[in-house]
Structure 1
Amino acid sequence: PFTATMTGLKQVYPGRYAPDTLVDLIINEKVSITHCVPTILQMVLKEAQDRDVNFNGLKMIIGGSRLTEGLAKTALTQGIEVYTG
């Protein structure tokens, strides 16, 4: 976040990590890159599936724990370029 601030990039902070709020922010604020843990990704994917949302190239970095192959494939099918650290 410090580099983004120094270079003047727009940053969106969600506050509470509620899946519906996260999906709305990603769509409405045109988020292009984000990061989270697999549990949050799973909640976002479920919300997006329920609402028939495709993320069209959103880049997401996963940390905190192992990203499973199944979760990665689901993210890819919903338009998320998912990376793990």
Structure 2
Amino acid sequence: MVYNPMTSGEDWWDGRSKLNLAYTRDAEHWQNLLQMENKEKGEYSYPAIIQSKNGHIHITYTYNRKKIKYFELKKL
């Protein structure tokens, strides 16, 4: 799961300056794997995550509503 770990604020962008990647095997116990963004200011939102047939994880999200960031995590 890719998510914003902060509480949303008064304005729509509040709470979107951090973005984390977490994993679970049972949908109950989550483990944080990676802090993808961690800024004082910024807006990282609309994350999407899929796994391809080769086991790689593909993640996209908006970066300050100006660009789209893309990550590929390769299976070890």
| TM-score between both structures, scaled by the size of structure 2 | 0.21
Q: Which has the larger strand fraction?
A: 2
Q: Which has the larger helix fraction?
A: 1
| TM-score between both structures, scaled by the size of structure 1 | 0.20
The structure showing larger relative contact order (alpha-carbon pairs under 8 Å, at least 6 residues apart) is 1
Larger radius of gyration: 2
